[in-house]
Structure 1
């Protein structure tokens, strides 16, 4: 009896008319075959707008296409035409440059937002793989080159780089509780970097949960572990110019990091205008402009970092790394001056030595800084004192004689 009932139900379902699909592709998306992204990019190139659209010129775009073509290229099928390599790369670069929604990008490229949501992480992963050589923890010869550049450009000897970190806003991950909820009251992952004297990223650590104290972010990095076990190959201690006492090579930081042997940060609290503490803090802050400017330009040119990123933490980490790698890549190409013209960077008043704000500082919604950390060591205090003595005497910076 039960068998007959089941057979009857199955027969009824078979008789039920299957709903006919209304369309295979939306009419608005069919225009992709008439006017492709390739044609659109060509028109932008003719009008001189391509660099603003994807942050690079056509030759650099083609170079990246050749690098990742084998990794992301798809074949046409008998049912539909695949999204071309040009379209895949262009829609990804446009997303990074603007932070526009997938639906808005779909209206430009005539692609569904579901397809774009698959393309963007895939292309980012491919770009990270082919561009990974643009960021490397320096070895000894490179570190000495970095130190020479800091002394020449920023008048700060024995400096191997500038360290800073920022919170990048994300959508609350599923079932994460307060794990990514930071001290500023939003969900985030932390982007921790080291920058050289030329505004290039030397080291990047991404993905630490926003809830973790900012001092703990640095403590858990591979870079910190390499400092602790002496595997970073930091050069031997060297005396500052005109002085006899050897001091370690250091990384300049702000109050979000501890003061210790290889990490140097400003003196706390207000200082008298002509005191050696005030002079030291100014000179250190001047050297730290490299990382401040690198962050500012990165978020100004890749505006996805200014939005709340609507991806899971793993894909967000991949996306942020792509922005950082593209920053270093573009700065070594012909588009460098278009990507970040000279007025984007901070400058100095040649008479008073005061800072002239770069264009990036005039824009709103910068990345959120890390929280202050009070950790100090005796070694760090002694090293900071030696630098302060140097800047007050042998390293005194006379702005008029420097420029005239």
Structure 2
């Protein structure tokens, strides 16, 4: 075959090959553009699709419809106490506001009260509370903060110093339980576990190896708090906690010849005129001394039981993580206030996981 013919045939074959390659590239580009367009459309649809939150909890109306025992086991208060707290919140400005215009409907007052009590009685996060009560996290946080402030305002009405008749009644009760006269209460300190604060964090490390704030509690013969002091760092000793508390400067007027029962942390001389403590067991105590120590401990255990019941009923106080120091103080003050509110009526202890052995004075 003529070389020129061979060359022409080869060139024609190359041109056909190049045309096929160009067609393939064009088809590939079209496919890529279609895929990108489809992806963009899917993304736009997802962006425009309304977000449906998955709510795993039950409605507030179901809480309120429970029988009395179940209601109290969840809310920690009786229905009468719940209604009192609900009415108090209403008078303090937490009542439902009529809906004006758009937006989500307002949260009913009863739901706010139930949400706050659920927060205090459990260690759920705001995400879990949001799901439980079908509200947003910001709404749940706003309601809890407002309720804490309002309960702290009620503290002065529930944590009160006893009058003379109440002192006499308490002294008779302690005399029956521990054979000691003129005793009107027991005093002790208690650690509330917290997250390490950003400032002066080492000061909040207690001798047990975790960060905490302290609460000094004084209770009567029934375990009802008659005076509390909350907030000092966990590193502070119980004796120093008493000295810096407001009660210490008012002790002469408030005690008027009466005594508290305390442990050996209050054995200092300047406490002896109003706190009765056991003697330190150095191995040389007489049988009478050991008997006296037993009697004092028998009466003093009421304050440890009070702390244990408070932490059992309002489990939020067991561990306050991701919470500012000011909010920690408010939570503890609110728990003591609600504890005293519970003391006004018969309270059925929560059976599941309560009390815990480290609730007394953790």
Is TM (by shorter chain) over 0.5? yes
**1:258 maps to 2:267:** yes
Query: Where does residue 74 of structure 2 map in the other structure?
Result: 53
Pick aligned residue for 1:42 from 59, 64, 67: 64
Pick aligned residue for 1:221 from 240, 245, 270: 245
| Cα displacement (A) at 1:191 | 0.8
Larger radius of gyration: 2
Pick aligned residue for 2:90 from 69, 87, 106: 69
Give distance in 2, aligned partners of 1:298 and 1:200: 10
Query: Where does residue 291 of structure 2 map in the other structure?
Result: 279
Deviations 1:41-85 (A, max 9, x none): 134337x52111111232321221112113212413422211221
Distance verdict in 2 for CA 1:218–1:131, change over 3 Å: closer
Q: Pairwise mapping of residues 26-41 of structure 1 onto structure 2 (< 5 A)?
A: 26-28=51-53, 36-37=59-60, 39-41=61-63
Give distance in 2, aligned partners of 1:211 and 1:152: 36
Give distance in 1, aligned partners of 2:335 and 2:305: 15
Give distance in 2, aligned partners of 1:211 and 1:273: 31
| Cα displacement (A) at 1:192 | 0.5
Give distance in 1, aligned partners of 2:337 and 2:316: 15
**1:319 maps to 2:337:** no
Give distance in 1, aligned partners of 2:357 and 2:282: 27
Q: 134-143 or 283-292, which moves further after superposition?
A: 134-143
| Cα displacement (A) at 1:332 | 0.7
**1:188 maps to 2:212:** yes
Pick aligned residue for 2:307 from 295, 303, 311: 295
Q: Please say if residues 162 and 226 of structure 2, whose CA atoms lie closer than 8 Å, have aligned partners that are also in contact.
A: yes
Q: Secondary structure at the match of 1:28?
A: coil
**1:174 maps to 2:183:** no
**1:338 maps to 2:362:** no
Give distance in 2, aligned partners of 1:368 and 1:125: 26
| Cα displacement (A) at 1:272 | 7.4
Give distance in 1, aligned partners of 2:77 and 2:250: 35
Give distance in 2, aligned partners of 1:45 and 1:193: 34
**1:123 maps to 2:135:** no
Give distance in 2, aligned partners of 1:86 and 1:23: 35
Give distance in 2, aligned partners of 1:178 and 1:146: 40
| Cα displacement (A) at 1:262 | 1.2
Higher helix proportion: 2
| Cα displacement (A) at 1:202 | 0.8
Q: Please say if residues 136 and 203 of structure 1, whose CA atoms lie closer than 8 Å, have aligned partners that are also in contact.
A: yes
Q: Please say if residues 271 and 278 of structure 1, whose CA atoms lie closer than 8 Å, have aligned partners that are also in contact.
A: no
Q: 146-155 or 118-127, which moves further after superposition?
A: 146-155
Distance verdict in 2 for CA 1:104–1:145, change over 3 Å: same
Query: Where does residue 211 of structure 1 map in the other structure?
Result: 235
TM-score, normalised by the number of residues in structure 1: 0.70
TM-score, normalised by the number of residues in structure 2: 0.77
Q: What RMSD in Å do the two structures reach over aligned CA positions?
A: 3.0
Structure 1, gaps ≥5 residues long? 1-18, 237-248, 345-358, 370-404
**1:101 maps to 2:125:** yes
Distance verdict in 2 for CA 1:110–1:125, change over 3 Å: same
